[in-house]
């Protein structure tokens, strides 16, 4: 299965994608994690992109698409994958469609996690990553509203979106996700 996790910062994309990865035995790609890991490892593109992350702004599409193209052709992605935090702009979504189309593949399901703003601010402030300050969270939310919500509309037009309540315990949320995934049933 080819699944995209969407949702604002702190919605639980990473938490739930990790669980679903284990359940479905398909790889999980978080572009945010790749960027943070590249920065920790001192890779050139990691250092170049850290300023965007620290400011809560999106990294340029070309950088993200380079990461994705390379990952898509690795052997473990041939039976499916879970994207988390990608695509985040309509440009990225269209390019993903083109890349998959070239390989006779397509997205099967988009899981949109929804959560109240107070709850996500609480979760992120408890976690305390360097981009989890109040000011940067506000910028991340703004970027999500302006640049990423249109991606959900793009997929909704193709009936790919299942909206999942992202509040409750991780187990409760995962049970809702499983119902949506089983419905697609690939
Ligand atoms: P990214 O790393 O993707 O961050 P994000 O989307 O802002 O969201 P988070 O990872 O913070 O939250 P999440 O939804 O994964 O929730 P999580 O499970 O961690 O992106 C970071 C930056 O990288 C971007 O701002 C941008 O600069 C750049 N970037 C990445 N991808 C890009 C792209 N495609 N294009 C351009 N730029 C890109 O949970 C959050 C916290 O809540 C955790 O502490 C968790 O333990 C806790 N939690 C989870 N579930 C629950 C629950 N049910 N109850 C209580 N606590 C919970
Ligand atoms: Mg995440």
pLDDT for the residue numbered 43 = 83
Q: Which two tokens stand for residue 96?
A: 């993903």
Site to substitute for ligand 1 among 71, 112, 123, most atoms within 8 A of C-beta: 123
Q: Which atom of ligand 1 is nearest to the CA of 52?
A: 27
pLDDT for the residue numbered 186 = 61
Number of domains observed in the structure of the chain: 1
Q: Which of 69, 84, 103 lies closest to 32, judged by CA? A: 84
DSSP letters spanning 113-146: EE--HHHHHHHHHHH--TT-SHHHHHHHHHHIII
Per-residue pLDDT of the chain (186 residues; tens, 9 = 90+): 999 999 999 999 999 999 999 999 999 999 999 999 999 898 887 888 999 999 999 999 999 999 999 999 999 998 999 999 999 999 999 999 999 999 999 999 999 999 999 999 999 999 999 999 999 999 999 999 999 999 999 999 999 999 999 999 999 999 999 999 999 986
β-bridge partners, 114: 165
pLDDT for the residue numbered 18 = 98
CA distance linking residue 84 with residue 11, whole number of Å: 11
What is the pTM (predicted TM-score) of this model? 0.97
DSSP 77: G
Question: How far apart are the CA of 125 and the centre of ligand 1, in A?
Answer: 12
> 146 lies in which domain range?
2-185
Here the CATH number for the domain that contains residue 174 is 3.40.50.300
- Give me the torsion for CA of 38, 44, 47, 52, rounded to 10°: -90
């Amino acid at each position: 299965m080819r699944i995209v996790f969407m949702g604002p910062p702190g919605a639980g994309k990473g938490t739930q994608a990790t669980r679903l990865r284990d359940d479905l035995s398909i790889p999980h790609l978080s572009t945010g994690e790749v960027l943070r890991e590249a920065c920790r490892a001192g890779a050139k593109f990691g250092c170049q992109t850290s300023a965007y992350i620290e400011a809560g702004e999106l990294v340029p599409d070309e950088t993200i698409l380079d990461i994705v193209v390379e990952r898509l052709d690795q052997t473990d992605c041939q039976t499916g994958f879970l994207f988390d935090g990608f695509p985040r702009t309509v440009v990225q979504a269209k390019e993903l469609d083109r890349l998959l189309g070239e390989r006779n593949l397509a997205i099967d399901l988009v899981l949109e996690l929804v959560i109240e703003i107070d709850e996500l601010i609480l979760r992120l402030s408890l976690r305390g990553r360097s981009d989890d300050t109040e000011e940067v969270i506000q910028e991340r939310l703004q970027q999500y509203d302006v640049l990423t919500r249109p991606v959900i509309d793009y997929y909704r037009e193709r009936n790919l979106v299942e909206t999942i309540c992202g509040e409750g315990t991780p187990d409760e949320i995962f049970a809702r996700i499983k119902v949506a995934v089983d419905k697609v049933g690939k």
